[in-house]
Structure 1
Amino acid sequence: MNLFNIIKNKKQYWLVDQVKQEVDDMEYQQQFEQLLAAWNEERVGYLSLLMDEAYEAWLLNKGFQKVSSIVEYTRELIEIPNAKETILPHCLAEGLIKDEDYGALYERCRSGSANKNVQQPIETVMNSLQSELGPNWQNHCYYFSQGGTIVGISIPHIEMGTTDEGRLFYFGVVPEMRGKGIGTMIHRITLSLLLQFQAKYYVGSTDVHNHHMIKIFEQNGCKLRDRKGIYKIVLTS
Structure 2
Amino acid sequence: MNLFNIIKNKQQYWLVDQIRKDDIPKEAYLEQFIQILEEWDHLGIGYLSLLMDESFESLLLQKKFCKVSSIVEYTRKLADLPQMDDEIVWHSLSEGLLDDREYGELYDLCRLGSANKNINQSIDQVMISLKNELGPEWRQHCYYFTKADALIGISIPHIEMGTEDEGRLFYFGVVPHLRGQGLGIKIHNISLVLLKNFLANFYVGSTDVNNSYMIKIFEKNGCVLRDRKGIYKIVKEKSKRA
TM-score interval w.r.t. the shorter chain? over 0.9
Query: What letter corresponds to residue 4 of structure 1 in structure 2?
Result: F
Cross-structure match for 1:66? 67
Cross-structure match for 2:161? 160
Cross-structure match for 1:76? 77
Mapped to 2, the partners of 1:136 and 1:87 lie a distance apart of 24
Mapped to 1, the partners of 2:10 and 2:200 lie a distance apart of 28
Cross-structure match for 1:109? 110
Mapped to 2, the partners of 1:47 and 1:84 lie a distance apart of 40
Query: What letter corresponds to residue 177 of structure 2 in structure 1?
Result: E
1:45-60 alignment to 2 at 5 Å? 45-60=46-61
Q: Does 2:13 align with 1:8?
A: no
Query: What letter corresponds to residue 156 of structure 1 in structure 2?
Result: P
> Against the structure 1 CA distance between its residues 78 and 126, is the aligned structure 2 distance closer, same or farther, given a 3 Å change threshold?
same
The answer to whether the 8 Å contact 1:67/1:116 transfers is: yes
Mapped to 1, the partners of 2:124 and 2:181 lie a distance apart of 30
Q: Which moved more, 1:141-150 or 1:4-13?
A: 4-13
Structure 1: state its 5+ residue gaps: none
The answer to whether the 8 Å contact 1:72/1:225 transfers is: yes
The answer to whether the 8 Å contact 1:85/1:185 transfers is: no
Q: Give the secondary-structure state (helix, strand or coil) at the position aligned to 1:11.
A: coil
Q: Does 2:190 align with 1:180?
A: no
Q: Give the secondary-structure state (helix, strand or coil) at the position aligned to 1:101.
A: helix
Mapped to 2, the partners of 1:83 and 1:132 lie a distance apart of 28
Mapped to 2, the partners of 1:99 and 1:43 lie a distance apart of 31
Off by >3 Å, runs of 4+ in structure 1: none
Query: What letter corresponds to residue 184 of structure 1 in structure 2?
Result: I
Mapped to 1, the partners of 2:97 and 2:169 lie a distance apart of 22
How far 1:84 moved relative to its partner?
A: 3.7
Mapped to 1, the partners of 2:132 and 2:25 lie a distance apart of 34
Q: Which moved more, 1:35-44 or 1:80-89?
A: 80-89
The answer to whether the 8 Å contact 2:107/2:154 transfers is: yes
The answer to whether the 8 Å contact 2:84/2:190 transfers is: no
How far 1:4 moved relative to its partner?
A: 1.1
Identity %: 62
Q: Which moved more, 1:33-42 or 1:202-211?
A: 33-42
Q: TM-score, normalised by structure 2?
A: 0.96
Q: Which moved more, 1:35-44 or 1:197-206?
A: 35-44
Mapped to 1, the partners of 2:157 and 2:121 lie a distance apart of 20
The answer to whether the 8 Å contact 1:52/1:229 transfers is: yes
Mapped to 2, the partners of 1:73 and 1:85 lie a distance apart of 26
Query: What letter corresponds to residue 35 of structure 1 in structure 2?
Result: I
Q: Give the secondary-structure state (helix, strand or coil) at the position aligned to 1:125.
A: helix
| 1:78-109 CA distance string (max 9 Å, x none) | 11111443211111111011110000000100
Cross-structure match for 2:207? 206
| 1:192-231 CA distance string (max 9 Å, x none) | 0001111000000000010000000000000000000000
Aligned residues between the structures: 237
Mapped to 1, the partners of 2:171 and 2:18 lie a distance apart of 20
Query: What letter corresponds to residue 20 of structure 1 in structure 2?
Result: R
Cross-structure match for 1:122? 123
Mapped to 1, the partners of 2:59 and 2:235 lie a distance apart of 17
The answer to whether the 8 Å contact 1:13/1:47 transfers is: yes
Q: Give the secondary-structure state (helix, strand or coil) at the position aligned to 1:171.
A: strand
Q: Which moved more, 1:26-35 or 1:105-114?
A: 26-35
Cross-structure match for 2:140? 139
The answer to whether the 8 Å contact 2:85/2:186 transfers is: no
The answer to whether the 8 Å contact 1:90/1:142 transfers is: yes
Query: What letter corresponds to residue 117 of structure 1 in structure 2?
Result: N
Mapped to 1, the partners of 2:142 and 2:32 lie a distance apart of 34
| 1:48-89 CA distance string (max 9 Å, x none) | 111110110110000000000000000001111114432111
Q: Give the secondary-structure state (helix, strand or coil) at the position aligned to 1:117.
A: coil
How far 1:10 moved relative to its partner?
A: 1.1
Mapped to 2, the partners of 1:131 and 1:31 lie a distance apart of 23
